[in-house]
């Protein structure tokens, strides 16, 4: 099973530059995920690449920050604000990033595509 993650363009740029190696989430997949497609939210509105999901770091907020801070691509203040109402943090490790030569318009290539609020499960599409 694969998943599509909605990620703001500013964070997509940090992923592409290598500054951001962890994608933070308040909730995590309930199914086993092999590959994650990166949907850069509007104004981009395209699938820009994918990565293998080999490792998820989870635990209390302090532990997750300690492990991920050097490659988080975000500030500690942003991290704290993001998890303010949560006791558990999740960080998806971005492994084997593959950037598409030409971004994919999912509204054309995926039947009945609706941009996910956070993530959406999807069968293999390519």
**Bridging pattern class, strands 46-60 and 2-7:** unpaired
**Bridging pattern class, strands 35-40 and 22-25:** unpaired
pTM strictly above 0.85 = yes
Total tally of structural domains belonging to the chain: 1
- Please report, for the domain that includes residue 91, its CATH number: 2.30.130.30
pLDDT tens-digit series, residues 30-40: 999 999 999 99
The DSSP symbol for 113 reads -
Cα separation, 18 vs 53, in Å, equals: 16
pLDDT tens-digit series, residues 59-112: 999 999 999 999 999 999 999 999 999 999 999 999 999 999 999 999 999 989
Q: E strands along 1-126, which residues?
A: 2-7, 22-25, 35-40, 46-60, 88-104, 119-122
> 71 is in which domain, residue-wise?
2-122
CB atoms within 10 A of CB 15: 22
């Amino acid at each position: 099973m694969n998943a599509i993650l909605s990620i703001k363009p500013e964070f997509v740029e940090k992923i592409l530059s290598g500054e951001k190696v962890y994608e933070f989430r308040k909730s995590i997949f309930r199914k086993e995920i092999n590959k994650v497609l990166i949907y850069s939210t509007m104004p981009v509105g395209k699938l820009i690449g994918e990565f293998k999901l080999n490792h998820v770091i989870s635990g209390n907020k302090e532990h997750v920050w300690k492990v991920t801070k050097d490659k988080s691509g975000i500030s500690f203040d942003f991290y704290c604000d993001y998890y303010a109402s949560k006791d558990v943090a999740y960080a998806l490790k971005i492994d084997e990033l593959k950037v598409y030569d030409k971004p994919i318009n999912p509204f054309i290539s995926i039947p009945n595509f609706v941009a996910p609020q956070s993530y959406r499960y999807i069968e293999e599409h390519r």
